[in-house]
Amino acid sequence: MEQSLTEPDLLDDPIELFRRWFADARDAQMPQPDAMTLATVAADGRPSARIVLLKGVDGRGFQFFTNYESRKAGELAADPRAALAFVWIPMFRQVRVTGDVVRLDATESDAYFATRPRGSQIGAWASQQSRELADRAELEARVGELEERFAGGDVPRPRHWGGYLLEPREIEFWQGRPNRLHDRFAYTRAADADSWRRARLQP
Domains of the chain and any CATH numbers: 7-114+157-201 (2.30.110.10), 118-156 (no CATH)
pLDDT of residue 75: 97
From 20, 180, 189, 198, active-site residue: 180
Residues (pLDDT < 70) of the chain are 1
Q: Is 180 a catalytic residue?
A: yes
103 is in an annotated binding site: no
pLDDT of residue 77: 96
pLDDT of residue 29: 95
94 is in an annotated binding site: yes
CB 90, CB 30: distance < 8 Å: yes
54 is in an annotated binding site: yes
pLDDT of residue 1: 55
pTM over 0.85: yes
38 is in an annotated binding site: no
